[in-house]
Amino acid sequence: MVTGAAGGIGQAIVKILSDAGVDIAAADIQLEGVKCAAALPGDLADPTYCDELPAQAERILGGLDIVVNNAGIIRRGPITEATDEDYRQSFAVNVEAPFRICRAAIPLLAESGAATIVNIASCWGLRAGPNHPLYCMSKAALAAMTQCLGHDHAHQGIRINAVCPNEVDTPMLRSGFNARGIDPETGIDELNQSVPLGHIAKPEEIADVVLFLASDQSRYMCGSLVEVNGGKPVA
């Protein structure tokens, strides 16, 4: 099951897992164009939807072995400009949704005996950058939850890890440039120059790490926060 399946990283995750032979239950607010075994559209800010999502996926797919909590939102700007709604949305999608999904999924995953949860956190949740307090706070919470759950549920045969990207070339990132009156191509080019490897991540480069963490190749990894940043530290 993959949340945020219609986004830039989400579509890359769905494709790489599907290519590896995994049947995908995709979750997002709209799923037009997402190729998957089961489409489960809904709003991750809705607690009931999140609570019921793992069981729906298990029922339709005939089992549940992998959960990827990929969905996330960014609210930019200093805390003095943040609204109550910005706070509510950030924590509803970035923290409460993964919390509810993990809580509902773990009893189902335990039946597998060899299951995985991969959360998409952020480098910015490990070392906070400027002018993104809500994003940094929420991703820090997700990283901490990953480490706690990784320890608590390893004995059930459930490995729980997180991928922590820095900037990724997605429609969400580009929309942020548009909102600030910056040409997205210019913004991406400038970011590329700040990365030791020469470019910010493509969604596929994040999806590759998700596939690794979901596979038996990472069988001894549990509670890990894997940074995927091209060598670029958080500024």
Q: Residue 34 phi/psi, 5° resolution?
A: -85, 120
Are 102 and 69 spatial neighbours (Cβ–Cβ below 8 Å)? yes
Residue 12, helix vs strand vs coil: helix
232 is catalytic: no
Tell me which of 15, 135, 202, 232 is the catalytic residue.
135
Q: Can you tell me the distance from the alpha carbon of 47 to that of 63, in angstroms, rounded to the nearest whole number? A: 22
pTM: 0.96
What is the per-residue pLDDT across 17-45, written as a single tens digit (0 to 9) for each? 999 999 999 999 999 999 999 999 999 99
> In this predicted structure, what is the pLDDT of residue 235?
72
3-class secondary-structure state, position 25:
strand
Among residues 35, 139, 220, 232, the one annotated as catalytic is 139
**So what's the pLDDT on residue 179?**
82
The torsion angles phi and psi of 25, rounded to 5 degrees, stand at -100, 115
Kindly give, in sequence order, each residue whose CB lies less than 8 Å from that of residue 58, ignoring residues fewer than 6 positions away. 64, 108
Per residue in 107-156, pLDDT (tens digit) is 999 998 899 999 999 999 999 999 999 999 999 999 999 999 999 999 99
Q: Catalytic: 202? A: no
